[in-house]
Structure 1
Amino acid sequence: MIFRRRRSTFSRHAQLIPYPSDRILRRSKPRFYRRFWRVPALSLHLAIAFPLSWWYYGRGREIDVHALGVFRWWCGVALRILGIRLRVAGPLPQAPMMLAANHVSYLDILALAAIQPGQFVAKKEMESWPLFGRLARRLGTFFIDRGDARASQRLLKDAAQVLREGRILTIFPEGTTSDGTDVGDFFAAPFETAVTAETMVVPVTLRYEDVLRPGHADRICPFIGEDTLAGHLWRLTASAPLTLRVHFGMPLSPQLGRRELAKETQRLIRESLRRMEEGAAITCLDPHRHRLRDAWEAWRRRGSSR
């Protein structure tokens, strides 16, 4: 089933239309021919974006609104090329704010930057990724080495300056990625940044789903185990269109302390994931499907009443 929504509100005469199951299975499967246009389009996007970013950020400029705006544009185009559609719920966070999200894939960074651009705290391994690592470093990403606790603490103190300067900082407190169906334990240390800067924390829930089957978690997007960036991108370019559901929760006060913030954020994200999963049996709701036919019938009735 698919939940189609073209406007913020449905018309009074919306109809429930079941999506044919055979079409769901046919359109949901990965198809190699999708690579014929996605791979060239993504390559061209990289070929244009990275030289521009090198020219713009390579002059030692500070991260500002214009720099984040360029990154927001780049991320939005990349997601459209890969067939990932964003479905956002909840109030959009306003800077300064810390976002704490469950972590499924490197695509999480693209999605959150396309909605509300800011700086990120990422794992040290990402810094060595070709092209992506350099771009992330130029955008002010903080790379945490989980094997060096002291260096991580110093880095998180530096990250607090981002919040003090009135920007958005995004963390993934799990410290690793998951399959998107649940969340692991949250580390409390990253939340010390919000406590130090006295900034509110917004829980962010991320869930990748099949466009035609709301509520069913996608199995291609999770970047877990011994997966490689090149191999994951190759599979992703053949996948069917996907929906990334992003839910912004209500802000939490830094006065809770880092440990309580970690527990409460994990609880809220877990509850949000459960509500998304419960919404799997949604029937296609399309108020515009028969709009032309209804207009014709109304015109005929009006003509016959004269």
Structure 2
Amino acid sequence: MQRLRVVLSLLALSLVTLVLLPVQWAAVRLDRPLAGRIPMWWHRIALALLRVRVLERGRPAETRPLLILSNHVSWLDISVIGSRMPLSFIAKAEVAGWPVFGLFAKLQRTVFVDRARRADTGRVTSAIAVRLGRGDPMVLFPEGTSTNGSEVLPFRSALVGAARQTLADGQAVAGDQGGNGAGGAGQRAMVQPLSIAYTRLAGLPMGRIKRPLVAWYGDMDLAPHLLALMAGPPVDVELSWGEPIPFGPGTDRKSVTAKAEDEVRTMTMAALTGRAATPAA
């Protein structure tokens, strides 16, 4: 029965992908708003087929530009977060080569980071700044890698500087326009902490021992992990949105990153230990 469910789920996901891919490709090429919504629909269908239920606490900020800083547990994070709203990701370059998910990451206009090339930071920061300046919410995993899901690693602050560059670029435009542009005095971006915590299997607390069924880290292979998850019991994941942190032209990116890290760690531990109230579906 489990094998049949996996086969049917893979066939259904393949069919949905074949239908949506050309539409998404056209929407991206034509720069239509639909390009942000199609990946969201795909992620929601994928989660339904994987039997993953997302429980959400709080809300994403409405202010733009918006840079979201999240902890990172699994390849599944992409669908969990991507199912909530139209947004794009900042991801390591290897993601581009993943089957299915890599293709949709490209069509979701993901900004890829080559962490092996330190000189790549400037290019990536500029690319992120352009996207933020257009009003696209961007998700960054500042830990730099995925974890076992039971801890939150220190956040790196280098790419958070993209928020400052967005404001600097906007101020330059405002100066050219006599101070009436979007980057005028008092302009702020928002940096919002986001916690992702995989908490239950088949309605029962997951625990540290069983969390590797969902957590994907170290040298785990993607395909076996995906198939094991599809064959396994239903999963509950909690998303907790923290308080947005204003980011102005003079704001220190390291202090903002540290504040976001502390809040993400607090929210994650609360979800894993069950100290937080059960969020609404």
Q: Post-superposition shift, 1:134? A: 2.4
Q: Post-superposition shift, 1:92? A: 2.7
Structure 2 counterpart of 1:129, which letter?
W
Q: Gaps (5+ residues) in structure 2? A: 168-188
Q: Post-superposition shift, 1:35? A: 3.4
**Paired residue for 1:190?**
159
Question: Computing the radius of gyration over CA atoms, which structure comes out larger, 1 or 2?
Answer: 1
Corresponding residue SS for 2:270: helix
Q: When the two structures are superposed, what TM-score results if normalisation uses the length of structure 1?
A: 0.76
Q: Structure 1 residues 57-66 or 146-155, which shifts more?
A: 57-66
Alignment of 1:100-115 (within 5 A): 100-115=69-84
Q: Structure 1 residues 48-57 or 153-162, which shifts more?
A: 48-57
The C-alpha deviation readout for 1:14-58, integer Å capped at 9, x for no partner, is xxxxxxxxxxxxxxxxxxx33322332233222331453135415
Query: Which has the bigger relative contact order, CA under 8 A and spacing at least 6?
Result: 1
1:204 aligns with 2:194: yes
1:260 aligns with 2:255: yes
Question: Distance between the aligned counterparts of 2:276 and 2:266, measured in 1?
Answer: 18
Question: Distance between the aligned counterparts of 1:279 and 1:273, measured in 2?
Answer: 10
Structure 2 counterpart of 1:123, which letter?
K
Question: Distance between the aligned counterparts of 1:80 and 1:280, measured in 2?
Answer: 27
1:154 aligns with 2:144: no
Question: Distance between the aligned counterparts of 1:280 and 1:200, measured in 2?
Answer: 27
Question: Distance between the aligned counterparts of 1:92 and 1:152, measured in 2?
Answer: 26
Give the 3 Å change call, closer, same or farther, for CA 140–270 of structure 1 in structure 2: same
Question: Distance between the aligned counterparts of 2:247 and 2:83, measured in 1?
Answer: 26
Structure 1 counterpart of 2:61, which letter?
P
Question: Distance between the aligned counterparts of 1:201 and 1:59, measured in 2?
Answer: 28
**Paired residue for 1:269?**
264
Give the 3 Å change call, closer, same or farther, for CA 246–64 of structure 1 in structure 2: farther
Answer whether contact 1:39 1:237 (CA < 8 A) is retained: no
Pairs aligned (count)? 251
The C-alpha deviation readout for 1:175-228, integer Å capped at 9, x for no partner, is 100011111111111111122224201100000121423474533111111111
**Paired residue for 1:213?**
204
Answer whether contact 1:50 1:135 (CA < 8 A) is retained: no
Answer whether contact 1:205 1:269 (CA < 8 A) is retained: yes
Q: Post-superposition shift, 1:62? A: 4.6
Answer whether contact 2:44 2:83 (CA < 8 A) is retained: yes
Structure 2 counterpart of 1:75, which letter?
H
The C-alpha deviation readout for 1:282-301, integer Å capped at 9, x for no partner, is 99xxxxxxxxxxxxxxxxxx
Answer whether contact 1:102 1:172 (CA < 8 A) is retained: yes
Question: Distance between the aligned counterparts of 1:206 and 1:228, measured in 2?
Answer: 21
Q: When the two structures are superposed, what TM-score results if normalisation uses the length of structure 2?
A: 0.82
Answer whether contact 2:72 2:196 (CA < 8 A) is retained: yes
Q: Post-superposition shift, 1:94? A: 2.3
Q: Gaps (5+ residues) in structure 1? A: 1-32, 284-306
